[in-house]
Every structure is written in structure tokens, then in C-alpha cells.
Amino acid sequence: MQKKFIIQRFWPEKDKIPYWQIYEIDCQEDWTVLDALEAIRAFDPTLTYRRVCRHGVCGSCAMNINGFNSLACETRIASLPKNIKIRPLPGFPIIRDLVVDLERLYQNYTVIKPYLITSSPPEKEYIQSLEERHLLDGLYECLLCGACTSACPTFWVNENFLGPGIFLQACRFILDSRDKGFNLRKEILRKSDIWRCHGILNCVEACPKGLNPFQAIMHLRKILLFGGKR
Ligand code: SF4
Ligand code: FES
């Protein structure tokens, strides 16, 4: 299966502006975009991108494929047209080629205190009912890949906006029955720009795991307005 890959290249140390480079290669039916990038890199080792797990778990291969933020290791070549245009995640500074600087995302992650806040940890283990555990479904699966945040216009223009993925993570911790930091977490959210989300829903479309950061944002807003976790 012959495919044409049009890939954005940019090395800030030597290029003034990004440019497109074309590679035509023969792909196997069952390849993912990541397999194709590996095949290209076998003859052009200068092509730079991130990948670790190759199984949709680590989130490091998030990139923009034919206009959609996606995981390269989960996007099948067979599902794409002959021409495949790949560029780095929009909205983040480019380090090199398809690798972006996610520092802002990680800094924002620290703001929401991404760990259980407890005053007196149990001697043995936390007991969580099935119902309490199910409250985390649709939240704990987040990879922190940045695909949703990269697609969010509010994140692009508002430097205080934490981003949809980070609000989804905030929701994950505030709903955890083992966490005792409810009031502190509400204070953090009050100081955030959570009300700046305009419900454009790009984040929902972009998430490769089918999660719904907008729903998480709405849930957090409900908590801020009415109190209570549910
Ligand atoms: S919500 Fe989805 S798109 Fe956003 S960081 Fe998590 S896994 Fe990635
Ligand atoms: S390489 Fe880990 S999600 Fe793609």
C-alpha cells in the first residue's frame, strides 16, 4: 500500500520557519502511523518524534494527523487517505519536528495537586466501595497526552487557563472517596480560569481515549456553585 507522508519539519537551531517534507513509502495493511514513522526514520534518522509504549498507554506519540489530534500508535494507516499530513500538536512550542514542549501542561498539572490529600492515612489500606470506584470511570483513564489541551482555543489565548485535560484530572481527584482535600481543591479551582471555557467541545473530539473533559469542567463548575461532590 503506497502512501505519501507530508510531514512538518522544524529544527529551531537551523530553520527560520517550519517546512513540509514529503516521503513516499510502501506500507503494510496493518501498520499504524507510528510504524510508518519508524520506517521513515530507518532511512532518515533526522526525523524527530516521541514514542514510548507503542500501545496507546503513555500518550507520548500524540500529534496532529490529517487535521486531528491523535495517537500515532493507535491510528491505522488503512483508515487514512493516500496523502497523510502530519504536524506537531498545535498550541505548544515546537522543540523539534513533531516534538513539542509540554512544560506548561505539566506545570498546570502540579497546580491541581495530582495526588491524594490525606490527614491520617490508614494503617493498612483504603477501603473503597464499588460505587465510589465507579465515580472515577471516564477520568482515571487520562494519559495526559495533551491532545485535548492542544485543540482548545481558550488554552491558546489565555495563559491562566489550566486546560481541559488538567480540569479532567482535577475532577478525578476531587471525586476520589479517599481524598480529604475537598475544600483546598475547591479553592484552587476558584482561583483558576475554569469559567473561561466556552464549550467549544474541541477537547471531546480530540481525546484519543474517548474521554469528555468538557463534562468534567461542567461537573467542577457544579461543585463550585452548589457544593457537594455529586
Ligand atoms: S483527556 Fe484525553 S486528550 Fe486530554 S490529556 Fe487526557 S487522554 Fe489526552
Ligand atoms: S507510544 Fe505510547 S501512546 Fe503511542
80, 34: one domain: yes
187 & 74 share domain: no
Q: What is the CATH number of the domain that holds 124?
A: 1.10.1060.10
CA of 208 from ligand 1 middle (Å) equals 7
Last residue of a domain, one of 81, 100, 119: 100
Domain final position from 74, 100, 126: 100
Q: In the chain, how many domains are there?
A: 2
Instruction: Give phi and psi for 8, each to the nearest 5.
Output: -75, 125
* pLDDT tens for each residue of 146-197: 999 999 999 999 999 999 999 999 999 999 999 999 999 999 999 999 999 9
Question: What ligand is nearest to the CA atom of residue 71?
Answer: 2
The ipTM is: 0.96
**CATH number of the structural domain spanning residue 28:** 3.10.20.30
Per-residue confidence (pLDDT) for residue 228, from 0 to 100: 75
Write out pLDDT tens, residues 198-223. 999 999 999 999 999 999 999 999 99
Looking at the structure, tell me whether residues 123 and 90 fall in a common domain.
no
Asked if the model's pLDDT at residue 117 lies above 80, the reply is yes
Higher pLDDT pick, 124 / 35: 35
C-alpha 143 to ligand 2 mean position (Å): 9
Co-location of 81 and 117 in the same domain:
no
Q: Where are the alpha helices (DSSP H) in the chain?
A: 33-43, 103-111, 130-134, 147-150, 153-157, 164-174, 182-191, 202-206, 213-226
How much is the average pLDDT of 118-124?
Answer: 86
Answer yes or no: do 125 and 215 share one domain. yes
pLDDT band at 230 (very low <50, low <70, confident <90, very high): low
Q: How far apart are CA 166 and CA 149, in angstroms?
A: 8
Arithmetic mean of pLDDT over the chain: 96
Rounded to the nearest angstrom, the distance between the alpha carbon of 145 and the centre of ligand 2 is 9
Domain co-membership, 109 together with 216: yes
Q: Are residues 117 and 212 in the same domain?
A: yes
The strands making up 83-87's β-sheet, listed across from edge to edge, are: 19-26, 2-9, 83-87, 62-65, 68-71
Domain edge (last residue) among 46, 73, 100: 100
Domain enclosing residue 151, as ranges: 103-226
Ligand 1 lined by 143 (C-beta under 6 Å) = yes
